[in-house]
Amino acid sequence: MIAIAVEFRLLGDIEARLDGRPIELGHARQQCVLAALLMDANRVVSADQLVDRVWGDAGPGRARDTLYSYLSRLRQAFSQATDVRLVRQPGGYALQVESPTDVDRFRSLAVRARAATNEHAVALFGQAVELWQGVPFGALDNPWINQVRGQLDDELFALELDRNDVLLRLGRPITAPVGQARHPLDERLAGQLMLAAYRGGRQADALDHYRRVRTGLADELGVDPSPVLQRLYQQILAADPALDIEVRRPATDQPVPRQLPATVSRVVGRAEEWHALDSQLASVGTGTSTVITAISGTPGIGKTTLALGWAHAAASSFPDGQLYVNLRGFDPSGQVMAPAAVIVGFLTALGVAPRAVPAALDAQLALYRSLAADRRLLILLDNARDTAQVRPLLPGSPTCLVLVTSRHQLASLVAREHAQHLPLDLLSTSEARDLLAGFLDPGLIRSQERTVDELIARCAHLPLALSIAAARVLTTPGAALDTMVAALGRAPMPLGELSTGDGHDTDIRSVFSWSYQALPLDAARLFRILGLHPGPDVSSAASASAAGVSESDVRPMLGELTRANLLTQHAADRYRQHDLLHLYANELARRHDSADARQAALHRIMDHYLHSAYAADVALHADREPYTLGAVADGVTPETFDEPETAAHWMRVEHPVLIAAVRLAEEAGLDVHAWQLPWTIAAFLYRHGLWSDEIVVQRIALAAAERLGDGLGLARSHRNLGQAYALLGRHTEAQDHVERAYGHYLVRGDEGGLAAVGTSLAWVFERQGRYAEAQAAAERALHWHRILGDLTGQASALNMIGWYHAQLGDYRQALADCQEAVALYRKLGQRDGEANTLDSMGYIEHQLGQHQEAIAHYTTTLALRRELVGHRFGSARTLLKLGDTLLASGDEDAARTAYRDALSIFEEFGGAEVDTARARLAALP
């Protein structure tokens, strides 16, 4: 069947085009249904959600029947398309599409642009803006459409501001964003327009623009411009030469991390602290050591708000990027981030491929400091527990600025590293009123000044407590300031119970309780259960299994928690809790739920991730060793995967949660989950180069299998550990673990295991260049696979044997082995193995001088890998070898194209292969 592609457009009139021809989408209401599905493309949307998105509160009595007719018509409209399916699934409907919508492309380009540098970033920003052909969703009009339209408009506005920053850094002119009329008092835009006017020789225009913004802020909000904008005004007034100096641009081949999370649009108060940070910025690069500021204060005082707000404002002064990590120094689970884990993340952000990260911590730290040297980086270390956690993460370069936030004062960091200590105090009454004015009507605050001041006092002048109280007044029907003050007076938990031991007696448990006590019973129970979840975030499907309910039932509960500010939806179908909220939820579970109930919830959580990960693993690797898991707990609905692409996406998104789940299984004494879950994700970790994670989880698995006395668990954990150690170059440990695995399989009489471990041992020898021993091990594996009648195993072993013969110079025998392997793979219909073996044959034929045959096999390998998931790195290696063969055959132009294609993929992964591809290109005439 010929593939017929559909292109969806939402950024303008809603359109669907089939091979360039428009599809009739019906009337406005039916188009709303399509929009509601497309904004969650490839995800399940419940019928209730669709009704709410299309009709809201004004739905007809038979809205569901009408909805079903619209769905039927849409299904018919796309009947000729091979890449679009509207399917009914448990919990609702999913519009499965292969091509991204223009909204998806816009967001993807935005991410790429923000990670790119200079001219490349400008080009990507431009491509993103060009996707907008008008008002999103055209003339469609209902509350949900208008809400999403507003969100998209905000995304465009933010993207145009980011593009302006890049253009200003390049000395290029800027234009006012499309959304300027909706944001007349945006101070970031005001600063950009002022700087652009000043650099264009229009100092008077720059100053006049500042005065208009200052007047608007005073009239509309009763506030002054931010310290940053005031400082820019003073610089323009004084014609400060610093405004004309172009900050050093990063090298085009260096990745520019931009890891700062989103923050509030305006930091209230903190003028003196902001000025102190500005002074620190001025000293970057002028001394011989890293500039460090340690911000300390009680929980909820606004340490992170200040640090992130200033970091975003100062980001353009750090063209080499901004690194961020939450060190979880006071995480509810007690799982403080180890410096070793942070360093690996920083190295990856700075362009080091996971497989190129050194195994030893000292080597990782040395590489990190080398990469930071001479780069102008802002590094924000949030929520540190103590100086010992921070000290290894200091880069040592005077061109870097480090911000640290902590509940402790970090006196040792001040004494030894000469960090500036910036303690935060409670807000003054006027500052607290200003904070509340960001939520509530300023007129209300002025008219009820005494009640407002009493609310401020009851909240202990604590920013987080004030924010939550104001949000409750704003979002709860019928709520008023006086009823909130009365509720605070009745709160059973006194301030000070959640003490950090730093001398403060403020406590925000009671503030959290206001929202919790107003929850329906089912949402309150879910809140407590999520306190048991390992984090860092959770999907609706996992939430449903944790609570033992259906996904359609859990979504309204998640909505309740999100509206109550007890949960944050930070991405599509991804929810997370602030660490204090997570602690509060966990404590409530321990107080209100029995030990049996908590253990049952933990078991459901672990069953969800174990059975879902196993289903994803099977979808991705049909040749994996079979294994029967235990029965799933009542109430758990694991994820299912019809396509490898869906399974791969799930694994990528859930990877941090799966690692955390392994640790939680160990802590909770769920040893079966603690060894089986690492086994199910081993292939994913291997394919994505996450070998350090593999070692961590397999060590946990090994200990759990030992406690259980589970021979199969011991065998598989040793085998996986051996492979991970081999990839990291720790050959002695690798061989030891693989041989231990062999012993366990031998004791069990597990012939399939003996065959598999033989393959692993061959691979360990191969990593050491011991090809004769690798060949002998692979031949033993082939022997076991033949006894078992395992054709897949035979094909895999034959490919390995052929490769080792080639490395030993016996090309004729190597070719015969690989030809036999290909025949088996084709008989089995396994394209993955066929592609790997054809790649081996291409290499062998190149060595034999059979260049045209080699080119044909490499070309077929690439065609097969384009159909497979997660094979881009393998494709790049094939392209490199194809280029070698093309060059040997005399076709330099085709070789250059192959090398360039390989390089473009290698640059996504980093590592030594990038230099190899560049060297190949440089060697061409």
What distance in Å separates the CA atoms of residue 443 and residue 546, rounded to the nearest whole number? 44
Output the 3-class SS for 272-291.
HHHHHHHHHHHCCCCCCCCE
Give the three-state DSSP class for 89: strand
CA 337, 342, 344, 349: dihedral to nearest 10 degrees?
A: 140
Strands 15-18 and 21-22: antiparallel
Confidence (pLDDT) at 60 = 60
What distance in Å separates the CA atoms of residue 530 and residue 581, rounded to the nearest whole number? 10
What distance in Å separates the CA atoms of residue 737 and residue 733, rounded to the nearest whole number? 6
* pLDDT tens-digit map of 715-731: 898 988 888 888 777 88
Q: Is the peptide bond before 442 cis (omega within 30 degrees of 0)?
A: no
Contact between 812 and 834 under an 8 Å Cβ cutoff? The reply is: no
Confidence (pLDDT) at 521 = 93
Type of residue found at 685: L
DSSP-assigned beta bridge partners for residue 422 = 295
Other CB atoms within 10 A of residue 772 CB: 11
Q: Taking 80 as the threshold, does the pLDDT of residue 592 lie above it?
A: yes
Type of residue found at 628: T
What distance in Å separates the CA atoms of residue 793 and residue 617, rounded to the nearest whole number? 18
Contact between 60 and 51 under an 8 Å Cβ cutoff? The reply is: no
Give the three-state DSSP class for 326: strand
Contact between 715 and 745 under an 8 Å Cβ cutoff? The reply is: yes
Q: Taking 90 as the threshold, does the pLDDT of residue 250 lie above it?
A: no
Contact between 764 and 731 under an 8 Å Cβ cutoff? The reply is: yes
Confidence (pLDDT) at 622 = 67
CA 64, 69, 73, 79: dihedral to nearest 10 degrees?
A: 80
Question: What's the pTM?
Answer: 0.52
DSSP track, 721-744: HHHHHHHTT-HHHHHHHHHHHHHH
Confidence (pLDDT) at 507 = 43
Using pLDDT thresholds of 50, 70 and 90, give the confidence band for residue 841: very high
Confidence (pLDDT) at 508 = 58
Q: Please give the average per-residue pLDDT across 163-170, as a whole number.
A: 84
Give the three-state DSSP class for 378: strand
Q: Please give the average per-residue pLDDT across 128-147, as a whole number.
A: 89
User: b/e string for 283-322 if b means 16 or more Cβ within 10 A?
Assistant: ebeeeeebbbbbbbbbbbbbbbbbbbbbbbbbbbebbbbb
DSSP-assigned beta bridge partners for residue 403 = 293, 380
Q: By percentage, how much of the chain surpasses pLDDT 70?
A: 90
What distance in Å separates the CA atoms of residue 376 and residue 169, rounded to the nearest whole number? 14
Confidence (pLDDT) at 478 = 55
Confidence (pLDDT) at 2 = 44
Say which residue, 689 or 723, is predicted with more confidence. Answer: 723
Confidence (pLDDT) at 501 = 31
Residue keyed to tokens 């999403």 = 148
Say which residue, 624 or 742, is predicted with more confidence. Answer: 742
Q: What angle do CA 521, 524, 525 make, to 5 degrees?
A: 85
Q: Please give the average per-residue pLDDT across 790-810, as a whole number.
A: 91
Strands 15-18 and 6-9: antiparallel
Confidence (pLDDT) at 308 = 92
Specify the length of the chain in residues. 925
Contact between 923 and 905 under an 8 Å Cβ cutoff? The reply is: no
* pLDDT tens-digit map of 265-305: 678 888 888 888 888 887 887 777 889 999 987 667 788 88
Contacts of the segment 408-416: beta carbons below 8 A, 24+ positions apart: 408/296, 408/384, 408/500, 408/502, 409/294, 409/296, 409/502, 410/294, 410/296, 410/384, 410/386, 411/387, 412/387, 413/292, 413/294, 413/387, 414/294, 416/387
Q: What angle do CA 457, 458, 463 make, to 5 degrees?
A: 75
φ, ψ (nearest 5 deg) of residue 869: -95, 135
Q: Taking 50 as the threshold, does the pLDDT of residue 123 lie above it?
A: yes
DSSP track, 116-161: S-HHHHHHHHHHHHHT--SSTTTT--SHHHHHHHHHHHHHHHHHHH
Both tokens of 794, joined, read 């035979």
φ, ψ (nearest 5 deg) of residue 7: -110, 125
Confidence (pLDDT) at 298 = 67
Distance of CA 201 to the CA centre of its chain: 43
Q: Taking 50 as the threshold, does the pLDDT of residue 357 lie above it?
A: yes
Q: Please give the average per-residue pLDDT across 826-839, as a whole number.
A: 88
**Average pLDDT score over the chain:** 83
Confidence (pLDDT) at 579 = 63
Using pLDDT thresholds of 50, 70 and 90, give the confidence band for residue 525: very high
Burial tier of 277 (Cβ tally within 10 Å: 0-12, 13-18, 19+): buried
Confidence (pLDDT) at 705 = 93
Both tokens of 777, joined, read 């091990």
Other CB atoms within 10 A of residue 572 CB: 11
Using pLDDT thresholds of 50, 70 and 90, give the confidence band for residue 465: confident
What distance in Å separates the CA atoms of residue 389 and residue 105, rounded to the nearest whole number? 40
Type of residue found at 429: T
Radius of gyration of the chain from its Cα atoms, rounded to whole angstroms: 30
Comparing CA positions, the residue from 404, 402, 386, 392 lying closest to residue 368 is: 392
Comparing CA positions, the residue from 42, 64, 41 lying closest to residue 51 is: 64
Using pLDDT thresholds of 50, 70 and 90, give the confidence band for residue 245: very low
φ, ψ (nearest 5 deg) of residue 438: -75, -15
Sign (positive/negative) of CA torsion 637, 643, 644, 649? negative
Q: Is the peptide bond before 332 cis (omega within 30 degrees of 0)?
A: no
Question: Measured between alpha carbons, how far apart are the two ends of the chain, in Å?
Answer: 44
Q: By percentage, how much of the chain surpasses pLDDT 90?
A: 27
Strands lying side by side in the sheet with 378-384: 322-326, 378-384, 401-406, 291-296, 420-423
Q: Taking 50 as the threshold, does the pLDDT of residue 498 lie above it?
A: no
H or E stretch at 88: strand 84-89
Confidence (pLDDT) at 504 = 34
Output the 3-class SS for 833-873.
HHHHHHHHHHHHHHHCCCHHHHHHHHHHHHHHHHCCCCCHH
Comparing CA positions, the residue from 24, 11, 125, 91 lying closest to residue 551 is: 91
Contact between 330 and 500 under an 8 Å Cβ cutoff? The reply is: yes
Type of residue found at 831: R
What distance in Å separates the CA atoms of residue 163 and residue 358, rounded to the nearest whole number? 36
Other CB atoms within 10 A of residue 606 CB: 26
What distance in Å separates the CA atoms of residue 456 and residue 286, rounded to the nearest whole number? 43
Comparing CA positions, the residue from 703, 727, 648 lying closest to residue 681 is: 648
Confidence (pLDDT) at 115 = 64
Q: Taking 90 as the threshold, does the pLDDT of residue 666 lie above it?
A: yes
Type of residue found at 652: R
Task: Output the CA–CA distances (angstroms, integers) from residue 649 to 198, 528, 684, in the order listed.
Answer: 47, 29, 11
CA 76, 77, 83, 85: dihedral to nearest 10 degrees?
A: -40
